[in-house]
Amino acid sequence: MKSALTLAALVQLLLLFLSPLALARVEYDSSSLLLKNSDQVTQMLSAKIKKAQSLQSKQEDNEDGEIQAEPEAIENLKDAMRIALSRPDQDGARSNLYSRVRRELVDLNSLDQVLAELTEESLNELRNQDGPRRTATYVVLLENLMAEIKPELAENSSYKKILERVRDAKISIGDKAKVQSLLRSMSVPVSPSATAEKMLKSLPTAKAPAKKK
């Protein structure tokens, strides 16, 4: 009996100590981000961009004079990109938020890398579906990411590979996550894999070389 009580007490203590870790994810939750206006989200991004710039300013160029991206600076920019893409685009602010972070990553030659990493992060989460709020958030993130890279899809092979990864993951969305999305946006979410497949099919096919007469 005593051991059982001790075990219960230990579980409560673990939950107490682990709760801040769970709270640390709130800023990436699409429902929470939707409650913030674009100015508030811009402030969140600006804080992370400013920190990244401060870290990057201490990094020296390599022998060829090229910019060496500071890993911690990239992580802060990836955080900022995660926020920008996790917010449902009900007010049309997504592209502006995305562009702010995109500029910083382009300057560090790290945009494609970060987008690929966020794609893998999203796919891993959607395979596990660890709670409807997180699942709904990563669905939003992937849908927004694919919408932003769509204009450059035909010219950028890295972006085409991102869509192929999403398509081949064959993601299905659980009922609880669908309800979460329905309550938030009054629309039933479509599988990101289905969206990726549709986008890939819309790409122009390469013309076969003309036969010599």
| Model pLDDT for residues 46-77, shown as the tens digit of each residue | 999 999 999 999 876 656 666 789 999 999 99
Query: Which pTM does this prediction carry?
Result: 0.79
DSSP tally for the chain: helices H, then strands E:
10, 0
210, pLDDT greater than 70: no
Listed by start position, the domains of the chain span 26-57+67-201
pLDDT of residue 129: 79
pLDDT tens-digit map of 91-134: 999 999 999 999 999 999 999 999 999 999 999 999 887 788 88
Instruction: Compute CA distances 167 → 106, 132, 148, 149, 190, whole Å.
Output: 26, 21, 17, 15, 12
pLDDT of residue 172: 85
pLDDT of residue 6: 47
The whole-number average pLDDT for the span 13-23 is 35
pLDDT of residue 200: 95
